[in-house]
Chain A
Amino acid sequence: MSASRASTASAALAVLRRDLLLAVRRPGEWLQPLAFFVLVTVLFPLAVDPEPSRLRQLAPAALWVTLLLSSLLALEFLFREDRRDGTLEQYLVSGQSFTALLVAKTATHWLLTGLPLVLVGPLAALSLGAPPQALPGVCVALLLGSVSLSLIGAIGAGLTLGARSGGALLSLLVLPLVMPVLVFGARATQLAIAGDEAASALYLLAAIGALSLTLAPLAAAAAVRISLE
């Protein structure tokens, strides 16, 4: 029993290591969403009147919509390459838990696209006029939200694997599912920037994160498995 569990964990770690190595060799894939995030956040103050009070009002919306879009941008590449070269089929026949291996892949995706966005997010928030004492709250909100985004997005990425059109369909499928993340994330950010207690919205974000951590991998594994048949 414990031997097989240990081997599942080590297999998942091996997948994680392989994907990270691949990403280091091909930095374009994870730098693109990051660059997109920075660019769009810079565009917001240019598009509206850059008066500090108005910018601060706009900051939560700008941050979260941009986070959502750049996360979607990265999702398209989540399984596509590995399906094309047969890696996913190897995972399927490896005898290891397919769900665990996909969780490892999703974790890599989050490390490469979610985590950089969480790290850049506070800078973007500052540039949009958020006070420095709001940054911990903003950071935690982005952290919890981006984890859910990656996990739920993996379902959409799995479903669209066998589909003809990619990007637009993916966003049509994923956006309704991640609506609560956007609502509570933006709410927490808004409360943090206004200097209020953001805990209630953060708890809800954490609850969504826990729910998607337990259920989303199962759905994502089912979706990917269907596309491989």
Chain B
Amino acid sequence: MLGAYTFYFIAIMLMRARAEVLRRERGGAWLREELASAEAAR
């Protein structure tokens, strides 16, 4: 259970930190490219 919780925490932490990066880098050129390529892949 401790392992499960730890992995859960890592996942949550990564997702939240990713969202935070998204918020901070809004307007950054690399992010626009990133989002565009993700859009294209879909």
Do A and B come into direct contact in the complex, CB within 8 Å?
no
